[in-house]
Amino acid sequence: MASGANENKVICGKANNLEDSDSDSDLLKSVFDSGYADSEAGPSFEFDKAALADILGTSREDNQSELIGTSEERKAIFKEQLEQLEESSRIDKEKDRLRLEEEQEVTKQEEIRQKRRRRVLDEPAPGDQSVEVRIRHPRMGVLKRRFHVRSSVQAVYDWAGSVSATPLYFQLCKYPNTVIYPSDEISQACNEILNVVSRGQPVPLSVEEDSVTINDGQKLYIDIDMDDTIPDALHIGLSDTPPQMLLEDDEPMTEEEAIALTHYNVLNKKRQEELTKYLKTNIVEIDKDHIVEEILKLCKDTSLLQNYLEIECGLTATGDGVLREMLTSFWEKFLMRNGEGSREIPLPLGPSIARETYEILGRIYHHGFMLTGSFPVTISRASIHYALFDCVKDECLEESFLNTLPAKQRETLSAALSSKSAASFPDKIVCDILEDYGNMRWPSQENICSIVKDVAVHELVAKPAMALQQFRSGMGEFWKDVPPQEIDAVYKLSQPTSRRVKAALRGNPLTKKEESVLRWLKLFIDECGDKMLRRFLVFCTASDSLAPDKTIQVRFESMPSAAIRPKAQTCFRILILPTNFCGYAAFQANMDISLTYRDAWEMKDY
């Protein structure tokens, strides 16, 4: 190329015509140098700053809008996926729960079936008196089995419930739909095929009893609706005719007892009306070894006292007998642990009993009466009169105080109160008796009534006055319309005496030996003291009082020589006596030992 020729080059966006030169000075000049003349620059590009800002702003807004829209869509998608995941997890958990419940239900059904199977009695040996019962089972078809002639239908229920785990609860029915209850005689079940009809709850033990519940050994508290199809003895009116227990024995009903029975029936009718407000049944499990603490804790919850109550205590069944036994045991242990008395005990006092405990005791008193038709007649009648009516008659004070004394002291003081001769008045003995109650006056025929009244007022009314007020507040509004005569009727007809207990016995001896055993039983009852008589009632009925409309069924059984002892089914109020005694002395000794050692009692509630 010639040295004089020109060449076009583009440097940093600037078009220049440069001469070919060996000098690099121009190359060393900065394009930003002020000395770099404008004239030396190439063609310039001019921009509208406002337009440029508008373009940039619009682009930024569009981009921001697009980003925001994308973020919201992502959140929505994420939320939807999360909801789907939660729903899937919920469905899986529900399936697991249903599967677990199904497995638990199957296990429960099998456990109950095994418990029933263990209660099934052996078939009678060939030649023994027996009857054949046939059932039509929904899963097993028609089945038949022989039972002892003296069995109850309960034995059939146990057998029918043992052949299959389902149905869990059922009733045995004759055609077309007549229910045969567990307490019925076996003869009721042997004339035709009985249908096994499934039901949602256990069948009642009898028309006269509350329902029985098989204990599953797991649930501590269950709240179930009341089944309107279950007949309830508490809603069945009492007949105006005096019960047979007051008519059949050697002594007929007295006029005083007839009047008391009328008042008792009126009170029981009020109770039945109050029970119509009870719509549910609460089932709770109680530890018998800590009965006082457990029931006091349970009855802190006032809502429980608006419903029926069934108590489980680790047995294979629960029923009315268990409820009676628990209430009786509670009052017996609480009163004897904290108070003193014989037939009647004043409301206990002491620093170990909190003030609110008395209100809870009032609730237990009320609820126990609602459910069983009886209240603890071991609590001083004078104290109850004062709690309900704010006053106590002298006659009530005197009788109630006498009932707090041991039998011998009661007999002595009663004779002193009715003494007609100053010469025969036992002043020294009476003085010793009353000294324990802080009496400082010397008793005489003239002042003995006054002294006894003052002591009774102090012991039964003044000392426990504050506790009785709290007790009354726990009893509720039901008792506002109950007059003293109705309270007295319960005490008069329910406190156990030898005559009343003997009159309550119902037996059907078939042999001379059975007749002898029934006669020995009545003789034994005649010879019982107050304490042993109450033990006998608790053993037979799970209660230490005897309602005037209840009886005790006596049955007989030949037992192995190593296991001769009385047995009882408390829910049915059934006493089973051995027949293989050689005489009354052996019978009495066996009854004494059996009733004294309560841990050896063989009591069932099914």
Write out the two tokens for 472.
């009354």
Contacts of 476 (CB under 8 A, 6+ apart): 362, 363, 366
Of 177-186, 237-246, 543-552, 560-569, which gets the smallest average pLDDT?
237-246
* Number of Cα atoms under 13 Å in the Cβ half of residue 12: 7
Helix (H) or strand (E) holding 143: strand 141-148
Q: Are strands 178-180 and 194-198 parallel, antiparallel or unpaired?
A: unpaired
Q: Does domain 255-494 have CATH number 1.20.1050?
A: no
Q: Report which DSSP code applies to 26.
A: T
* In the predicted structure, residue 234 carries a pLDDT above the cut 50: no
Query: Looking up tokens 């008193």, which residue turns up?
Result: 365
Residue 180: what are its φ and ψ, rounded to 5°? -100, 120
More confident residue, 556 or 43: 556
User: Which pLDDT belongs to residue 63?
Assistant: 54
Query: Looking up tokens 């609590």, which residue turns up?
Result: 379
Of 258-262, 325-329, 355-359, which gets the smallest average pLDDT?
325-329
User: Which pLDDT belongs to residue 573?
Assistant: 86
Write out the two tokens for 407.
């039998």
Question: How far is CA 112 from each of CA 99, 157, 577, rounded to the nearest angstrom?
Answer: 20, 12, 29
Q: 3-state DSSP call for residue 358?
A: helix
User: Which pLDDT belongs to residue 54?
Assistant: 61
Domains 84-205 and 255-494 share a fold: no
Question: Which stretches of 203-266 are assigned E, i.e. beta strand?
Answer: 213-214, 221-225
User: Which pLDDT belongs to residue 313?
Assistant: 63
Q: Report which DSSP code applies to 345.
A: B
If we measure between CA atoms, which residue out of 476, 491, 99 comes closest to residue 263? Answer: 491
Tens of pLDDT, residue by residue over 157-205, are 888 888 888 788 888 888 767 888 888 888 878 778 888 888 776 766 5
Tens of pLDDT, residue by residue over 566-594, are 998 877 889 999 998 889 999 999 898 88
Write out the two tokens for 103.
């497995």
* In the predicted structure, residue 218 carries a pLDDT above the cut 80: no
Contacts of 350 (CB under 8 A, 6+ apart): 338
DSSP per-residue letters across 382-427: HHHHHHHHS---HHHHHHHHHHHS-HHHHHHHHHHHT---STT--H
CB 146 within 8 A of CB 131: yes
Of 5-19, 43-57, 293-307, which gets the smallest average pLDDT?
5-19
Most confident of 195-209, 328-342, 472-486, 552-566: 472-486
* Other beta carbons within 10 Å of 580: 13
Q: Report which DSSP code applies to 3.
A: T
More confident residue, 40 or 192: 192
* Domain extent listing, the chain: 84-205, 255-494, 498-600
CATH architecture of 84-205: Roll (3.10)
Q: Dmax of the chain from CA atoms?
A: 176
Across the range 391-412, mean pLDDT stands at: 93
Q: Which residues pair with 172 in a beta bridge?
A: 180, 196
* Other beta carbons within 10 Å of 185: 14
User: Which pLDDT belongs to residue 95?
Assistant: 86
Write out the two tokens for 385.
């009169």
Q: 3-state DSSP call for residue 119?
A: helix
Of 12-21, 377-386, 527-536, which gets the smallest average pLDDT?
12-21
- Buried b / exposed e along 60-85 (16+ C-beta atoms within 10 A): eeeeeeeeeeeeeeeeeeeeeeeeee
* In the predicted structure, residue 411 carries a pLDDT above the cut 80: yes
Give the chain's mean pLDDT: 78
CA 150 and chain centroid, separation? 32
Tens of pLDDT, residue by residue over 430-461, are 999 999 999 999 999 999 999 999 999 999 99
Across the range 14-43, mean pLDDT stands at: 49
If we measure between CA atoms, which residue out of 451, 457, 386, 446 comes closest to residue 421? Answer: 446
User: Which pLDDT belongs to residue 24?
Assistant: 52
Tens of pLDDT, residue by residue over 105-160, are 788 778 877 777 777 878 888 877 888 898 888 888 888 888 888 788 888 888 88
User: Which pLDDT belongs to residue 575?
Assistant: 92
Of 116-120, 246-250, 391-395, 402-406, which gets the smallest average pLDDT?
246-250
Query: Looking up tokens 């109550």, which residue turns up?
Result: 309
CB 605 within 8 A of CB 314: no
Question: How far is CA 280 from each of CA 276, 317, 453, rounded to the nearest angstrom?
Answer: 11, 19, 46
**CA 375/CA 214 separation, integer angstroms:** 27
**CA 290/CA 354 separation, integer angstroms:** 18
**CA 88/CA 94 separation, integer angstroms:** 10
* In the predicted structure, residue 338 carries a pLDDT above the cut 80: no
* In the predicted structure, residue 56 carries a pLDDT above the cut 90: no
**CA 316/CA 318 separation, integer angstroms:** 7
Residue 481: what are its φ and ψ, rounded to 5°? -100, 15
Q: Which residues pair with 486 in a beta bridge?
A: none
DSSP per-residue letters across 257-269: HHHHHHHHHHHHH
* Number of Cα atoms under 13 Å in the Cβ half of residue 606: 20
Question: How far is CA 538 from each of CA 52, 370, 439, 476, rounded to the nearest angstrom?
Answer: 106, 19, 36, 28
Write out the two tokens for 284.
């709770």
User: Which pLDDT belongs to residue 382?
Assistant: 96
User: Which pLDDT belongs to residue 13?
Assistant: 41
User: Which pLDDT belongs to residue 400?
Assistant: 95
Write out the two tokens for 38.
């404008």
**CA 220/CA 283 separation, integer angstroms:** 8
User: Which pLDDT belongs to residue 232?
Assistant: 39
Query: Looking up tokens 């004339």, which residue turns up?
Result: 191
Name the class of domain 498-600: alpha beta
Of 23-27, 135-139, 218-222, 509-513, which gets the smallest average pLDDT?
218-222
